[in-house]
Amino acid sequence: MFNVHEANRRKAELRADMAKMHREAGDKALTSVQQKQWNEANAEICDLESKIAKHEAGAADGGPQSVINVERSFMHADTVRRVAGNNLRELYARATPDERAQIDGLAATLSGRINASADLRPSGDGGLLIPSVIQIAMERTYTAFSPVVSVARLYPTGDGEPTTFPVLSDTETAAQLDAAASTGADATVSGDTPPTDITGPQLKAWKVSSKPVFVPRELITDSPIDIVTEVIGALLARIIRFENLKYTKGNGTTEAEGFTTNATSYHAGSVALDLDVALDLAYSVPPLYRPNGVYMASDTTIKYLRKLHTGISGDKRSLWKDAFEEGNATLGTPAKLHGYPVLVNNDMDSVATDGTFAGVSPLSFGDFSRFVVRQAENNTPYAYIYPVPAKDGRAAILFRRSDSKLLVNSAISKLVV
C-alpha cells in the first residue's frame, strides 16, 4: 500500500541533499558527480510526486486536487547552472516555460491578478507557497545572512507538528564479554546513555513573520522580475536574518534555541582575545568533534584578529595572514584559522576595540552538524497578498516555521572570560 507520509518524508530528504549540494557548490557549477546525484534525486522526487498525485486523485474519486496539498514540481536539472548567478533576472532569461510561469504567476498575484497557484477554493485562505525556483534563487542571494544554516544539520519535515529528533550517545563505548557471560540485553536496555529506545529533544515549529510591506499600484508597471525581487526578496531577507539571530542566541523556550545558549563555555585565562586563545578554544572541544570544526565570529571580531601584528617595532606583518591559510574569495572558500574555516556571523557578540570581551562571548568553535535546524513544511515560505484600497495598492507578508536545538553540548564551545 502506498504511504503518502513516507513519500513526503523521502522527498524532504532528497531536497535537503539537493540544497546541500547548492551550498557546497557556492557560485560554482556542480561537479559531474554532484550533477549526476542531483539528477537522480530530482528524478526520484518527480516519480514520488506523480505517485502522490495519483493517490490523492484516487482518494478524492477523481475530483479536483487541492493546490496546497500537491506541491509544485521541482526545478529541472539544469536549473542549478542558471541559479548559480544569484540573479533572478538571469534565471528568468534562461528559465523553462514552467519556471517562467511560476515567476509570472507570483508577480501577477502581487499585482492583483489571479495566480493559479493560490488556494482559491471557498474553504481556502487565498495564500500561496513561494515557488521553489524563486525560493532557491533568493536563498542563494541572501546566503551571507544565514551562516548558521550553512553548517548546521538540516531536518526538513512535511508539516509543523512537534517531533522528537532521535539522538544516540556519541561517547558511549562497547564492553568486552566472556564467552558465556550475560550479554546485558534486557527489557530495560540498561547500560546505554541515552537508552536505545531512541529519545531526543522535541522540535517545534516557531512561526516567523516578515511583517507586511506595502506594494504601490504603480509598481505593477515594472517587470515581473522587479516586482518579485523587490518585494518577495526583501521579505525573505527579513525572515532569514531573524532566523539566524534565533539560531545564534534564541532561548529555546519561547523561540528556537541558539547554539550559544547551551554550548559548552570555555573560560579563557586572558580577558583579551588573541590567536592563542582561539587555538585553546578549539582544543577545548573533544577530538571527536574537531575534524569538522569551524570558527564563528562577527566581522568586528574577525577584523580584530586579522589586525594582530608581530609586535616587533615597525613590523606591520599580520600574524594571521603569515601563519595561517587565507580564504579565496574568487573560489568562494572561507578564510581559515589554525586550519579551520572561519564563518562570519554578525549576530554574535564582538570584542571591544582593545580585544577584551568581558561579559560577552565573541568566538565559538565546534562541529555544527550536532546543531539541528528543523525546517517545517520543507522550509517553504507561505505568502499572503491582500488589497489595501485606502492606499491604492496591495500588501504582502511571508511566514516560515522552524526550530533548532544543540544535540550535544560539548560539540560546540563558546569563549567567555
User: 64 — phi, psi (to 5°)?
Assistant: -65, 140
The domain ranges of the chain are 4-141, 263-372+408-416
Q: Is 299 left (phi over 0), alpha (psi -120 to 50) or beta?
A: alpha
Q: Which residues contact 112 (CB under 8 A, 6 or more apart)?
A: 217, 220, 387, 394
> Residue 277's pLDDT is what?
95
User: 202 — phi, psi (to 5°)?
Assistant: -85, 130
* Consecutive H or E run containing 417: none
How far apart CA 37 and CA 22 sit, in angstroms, is 12
Between the alpha carbon of residue 281 and those of residues 296, 341, 361, the distances in Å are 12, 14, 12
- The per-residue b/e assignment along 375-402, b for 16 or more CB within 10 angstroms, e otherwise, is bbbbbbbbbbbeeeeeeebbbbbbbbbb
> Residue 164's pLDDT is what?
87
User: What number of other Cβ atoms are within 10 A of residue 104's Cβ?
Assistant: 17
User: 388 — phi, psi (to 5°)?
Assistant: -130, 80
pLDDT mean for each 10 residues of the chain (417 residues): 70 79 70 75 74 58 32 35 55 77 80 58 65 80 89 90 82 78 68 62 95 83 72 92 97 97 92 93 96 96 88 69 52 76 95 93 96 92 90 92 95 95
How far apart CA 127 and CA 102 sit, in angstroms, is 15
341, 295 Cβ separation under 8 angstroms: yes
> Residue 270's pLDDT is what?
79
> Residue 10's pLDDT is what?
81
> 69, 47, 48: which is closest to 59 by C-alpha?
69
Q: Work out the widest C-alpha separation in the chain, in whole angstroms.
A: 84
User: What number of other Cβ atoms are within 10 A of residue 250's Cβ?
Assistant: 21
**What does pTM read for this prediction?**
0.74
295, 412 Cβ separation under 8 angstroms: no
> Residue 146's pLDDT is what?
93
279, 338 Cβ separation under 8 angstroms: yes
- The CATH code of domain 263-372+408-416 reads 3.30.2320
> 343, 336, 333: which is closest to 363 by C-alpha?
343
